[in-house]
Amino acid sequence: MTDPKVKKYSEELKKLGIEHEILKHPQLVSVEAVQKYLGYGLEDAGATLVIKVDDKFIAIIRRGDTKLDNERVKKYLGVANLRMANEEEFTKLTGVPSGAASVYIPSLPTYIDKKIFEKEYINAGSGSLLYTFRYKTSDLKKIPGIKVVDFTSIESEKKSSLIDIKGKRILSGITPSGDGTLHIGNYLGAVKQFIEFAKNGDCYLMVADLHALTTIQNKAQLQKNTETLILNELALLGNLTNIVFFRQSDVPMHAELTWILNNVTPLGLLRRAHAYKDKLSKDVMEDEINLGLFNYPILMASDILLYKPDFVPVGRDQKQHIEICRDIAGRLNKTYKSDVLKLPKPYIPEDVAVVMGTDGKRKMSKSLGNIISIFDDEIVIKKQVMSTYTDPTRIHSNDLGHIEGNMVFAYLDFFGEKNKVSELKDLYKEGKVADVEVKNYLFESLMKTFKDARVRYQELKNNPQKVTKILSNGADRAREVAGKTMMEVRDAIGLTNNYSFFKY
């Protein structure tokens, strides 16, 4: 750590007995952006709000997934008026820019919402936009003069999981920008949900190889990544018949619609896209960012709009993609006084998992080496399981153990048998079961869960003709739907409708 102000603040916290871990990241302002980068959800974040109540200022620490109840604040504090501090007031009172407030601000009376303590650990401010501190929540009660209050409620978005998707069209895609192999984080975060959708809906799933060109400019690597991803996806999907599975580059309409949408999309809309802003935040010069990465939201909009889906499954951090898509579609419809493009809705299931890696610190990612594979050799998977973060305070197997933050139990909640997992949790907390025994059960559970998929993987790998046929059939079906949409778009904007040259 090089920031002297952050170092000084860290030392002050240690004097108060507030233990913390220091996490470094690119310059990020919003709590959501920080949590996304670190691999946590908003429920694992603490946000410090500076509020003006009548004629004075106070600080309130709330959980990132909660909303302040203004009436409860007024009633508790006995005030008539309250408002958020503006940026100038915020900086003057805290000494740091908006988005960087620490949990300990000596100059302000501080209140902490009780929902913070439902989590054993929380990520919160450090006084810098480049660092986040991970606190043990019970230690936050040591902040001088802090008062625990009940000021918030869980922020309620419309629960997309309540939407009836029976008979609806769903579209999703995955980019082969990595090496193409899937791990349990990919499965829990996306593939599992898509399998459930496919049982009731009309599903389109594509391997988005055109998107991979923004980061991969190596022929052999792109081909290998794509082939590996296709095998992984097909093995996990099994024999579901109502999924149109295809390769994006096999459907030329994606590129054509992208060019048409380019002409109704303003630059300002693209400049707000997360991927572009993330690149700039990592000190990448704008002149070094390729146009494909800047332009990728338009290609993504084409991917979606060609198939006129009712819903597009995304995580909360990807909701912006759908918002941009709707904006672009709306602009084309308005420009040409047409309703040719159907505006999709995001589908954000409440139970989609943000899966932490085996290190217990960041979102599961192959580049971080904190994954558990699905299709690797059993020896490799066993090694990954055995290296999984558990309870660092537990030195001996008969020490009392903690479940919160223990990644082995986090994974068992998804893959283990409910009664067995509940029994192991009780034994673990009582110091009656060793880490190695729990890890062995996790390994056995994973092998059982993915047994059929692992068999299918080997069958497909040994039978490339079968894979080719699946892709060919998927491409035919995708081109039929995409071609119909393009004929409607061409008619709406004044281009010819001769599509015979798209026969493959």
Residues designated as active site? 279, 363, 366
Residue 152's contacts (CB-CB under 8 Å, 6 or more residues apart) are 62, 63, 66, 67, 68, 69, 113, 115
Residue 310's contacts (CB-CB under 8 Å, 6 or more residues apart) are 165, 168, 169, 170, 344, 345
DSSP type of residue 358: T
Neighbours of 442 (CB within 10 A): 23
Neighbours of 309 (CB within 10 A): 23
Residue 76's contacts (CB-CB under 8 Å, 6 or more residues apart) are 149, 151
One-letter identity of residue 97: P
Neighbours of 221 (CB within 10 A): 14
Neighbours of 351 (CB within 10 A): 9
Dihedral sign from CA coordinates of 458, 463, 468, 474: negative
Residue 254's contacts (CB-CB under 8 Å, 6 or more residues apart) are 210, 248, 299, 302, 303, 306, 482
Residue 354 CB-half CA count within 13 A: 21
**Rounded CA gap, 334 and 338, in Å?**
6
CB distance 248 to 209 below 8 Å: yes
Could you tell me which of 402, 399, 381 has the C-alpha nearest to residue 390? 402
What string of DSSP letters covers 218-263? -HHHHHHHHHHHHHHHHHHHTT-SSEEEEEGGG-THHHHHHHHHHT
**Rounded CA gap, 189 and 50, in Å?**
34
One-letter identity of residue 125: G
Q: Give φ, ψ of 287 to 5 degrees.
A: -65, -15
C-alpha distances in angstroms, 279 versus 85, 128, 357? 30, 19, 23
Cα Rg, the chain, nearest whole Å: 25
**Rounded CA gap, 466 and 470, in Å?**
6
- CA 344 from chain centre, in angstroms, equals 20
CB distance 442 to 217 below 8 Å: no
> Structure tokens of 149?
């209050």
What is the rounded end-to-end Cα distance, in angstroms, of the chain?
57
